[in-house]
């Protein structure tokens, strides 16, 4: 069952480099790769060696780090790219070629028969040179490709017996979970090969689509830290973890979850951006409970309003108190944590004071504390 044994292909160092503000130095790539490896991702995908001389050198440098994660590189479907990829020493080579009418016309100008011939030639060349390299073949823009075209290409490639994995790419973020499920099902059933899903987030379905792919039998999911990538990016690692954790925590406990906040912060810093407030798990408000009704229930039992335990990710929850939606249970909890014994009437009176003052402007924690302290002194 793939959900029990799926692998993450972490593409922060490939798709992520295509994010508008990303430009990782060699040292930063080593830092990110090292932390991803500590986290436990199974594979790390790196920018094509054709991109620039440093890109090629960096693959070799990261390969030489001797990480547990397998290092993959990513190329277009041609012999020149394949030649450079082989020279990097990467343990896997991911090949992609567009099959949608848009990309066939404007990207490489080949028809489906020519794509199949070219792919057969390039894959055979690589396999002859490197019998042990992990080979993956993907179509680009799979979801705007004609289904009959897609199946012809995938079946022809599978028949060659040269690749371990077939990839499906929602390059423009247009796919729905049902569409992802349908194509992944077909590939698993018809080829028996490993299947990878790569999904962009233009219409907000990247995580749902990755999950649908796994439920349909996909074995590998592409992610990046914070979801960085072309345009607004792809399936974020943290978001995928949140999705799978809430299906069954055991799906993700193979990873060192407590490193997620560090990973998100590292990549945000290196890209010169903040972690979005709404980010899965590590967003600044992900574990803040505010309304009085919520605070009361969470203080009694966090599972009332939390489907993810912050402690599993090395994080803590927070109860916001100094606002007009507050309730006296939150105020009582604060008093208790300050070691102040106040009776219910006093706590309710302070709660009313907080609400009144917060109508003008929210109160800082130290202001609440001084209200509590002065009430305690009066007792
Ligand atoms: C790209 C396209 C790609 C490839 C995905 C893949 C996409 O920018 O090279 O090879 O799995 O989204 O189609 O990222
Ligand atoms: Cu992509």
Among this protein's residues, is 294 annotated catalytic? yes
CB–CB of 319/330 below 8 Å? yes
Over residues 36-42, mean pLDDT? 98
- The whole-chain average pLDDT of the chain stands at 97
Residue 2 pLDDT level (bands cut at 50, 70, 90): confident
CATH architecture group of domain 2-271: Alpha-Beta Barrel (3.20)
Ligand nearest, relative to CA of residue 96? 1
Given 74, 198, 289, 294, the catalytic residue: 294
pLDDT in tens, 219-268: 999 999 999 999 999 999 999 999 999 999 999 999 999 999 999 999 99
**pLDDT over 70 at 379, yes or no:** no
Q: DSSP string of 265-322? A: HHHHHHHT-PPPTT-TTTSTTTTEE-SHHHHHHHHH-GGGT-SS-GGGGT---EE--S
Residue 1 pLDDT level (bands cut at 50, 70, 90): low
All CATH 3.20.20.70 domain ranges in the chain, comma separated: 2-271
Q: State if residue 138 touches ligand 1 by the CB under 6 angstroms criterion.
A: yes
Ligand 1 atom nearest 196 alpha carbon: 11
CB–CB of 95/65 below 8 Å? no
Nearest-5° Cα angle at 174, 171 to 175: 95
Q: State if residue 17 touches ligand 1 by the CB under 6 angstroms criterion.
A: no
HEC per residue, 199-268: EECCCCCHHHHHHHHHHCCCCEEEEEHHHCCCCCCECEHHHHHHHHHHHCHHHCCCCCHHHHHHHHHHHH
Reported as type and span, the H/E element at residue 191 is: helix 177-191
Tell me the angle at which helices 328-337 and 292-300 cross, rounded to the nearest 10 degrees: 50
pLDDT in tens, 164-193: 999 999 999 999 999 999 999 999 999 999
């Amino acid at each position: 069952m793939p959900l029990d044994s799926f692998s993450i292909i972490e593409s922060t160092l490939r798709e992520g480099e295509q994010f508008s503000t990303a430009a990782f130095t060699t040292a930063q790539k080593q830092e990110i790769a090292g932390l991803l490896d500590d986290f436990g991702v199974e594979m790390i995908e790196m920018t094509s060696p054709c991109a620039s001389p440093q890109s090629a050198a960096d693959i070799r440098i990261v390969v030489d780090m001797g990480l547990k994660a397998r290092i993959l590189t990513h190329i277009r479907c041609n012999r020149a790219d394949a030649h450079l990829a082989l020279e990097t020493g990467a343990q896997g080579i991911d090949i992609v070629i567009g099959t949608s009418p848009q990309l066939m016309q404007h990207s490489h100008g080949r028809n489906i028969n020519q794509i199949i011939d070219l792919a057969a030639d390039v894959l055979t060349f690589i396999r002859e040179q490197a019998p042990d390299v992990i080979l993956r073949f993907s179509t680009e823009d799979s979801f705007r490709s004609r289904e009959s075209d897609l199946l012809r290409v995938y079946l022809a490639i599978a028949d060659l017996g040269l690749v371990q994995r077939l990839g499906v790419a929602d390059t423009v973020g247009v796919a729905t979970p049902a569409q992802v499920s349908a194509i992944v099902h077909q590939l698993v059933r018809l080829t028996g090969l490993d299947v990878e899903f790569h999904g962009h987030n233009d219409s907000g379905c990247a995580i749902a689509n990755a999950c649908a792919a796994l439920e349909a039998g996909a074995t590998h999911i592409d992610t990046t830290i914070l979801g960085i990538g072309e345009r607004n990016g792809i399936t974020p690692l943290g978001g995928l973890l949140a999705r799978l954790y809430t299906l069954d925590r055991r799906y993700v406990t193979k990873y060192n979850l407590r490193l997620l906040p560090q990973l998100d912060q590292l990549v945000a810093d290196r890209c010169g951006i903040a972690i979005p407030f709404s980010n899965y798990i590590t967003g600044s408000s992900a574990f803040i409970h505010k309304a009085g009704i919520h605070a009361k229930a969470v203080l009694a039992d966090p599972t009332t309003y939390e489907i993810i335990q912050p402690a599993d990710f090395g994080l803590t929850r927070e109860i916001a108190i100094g606002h007009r939606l507050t309730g006296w249970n939150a105020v009582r909890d604060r008093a208790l944590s300050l070691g102040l014994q106040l009776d219910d009437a006093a706590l309710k009176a302070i709660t009313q004071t907080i609400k009144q003052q917060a109508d003008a402007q929210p109160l800082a924690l130290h202001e609440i504390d001084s209200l509590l302290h002065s009430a305690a002194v009066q007792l």
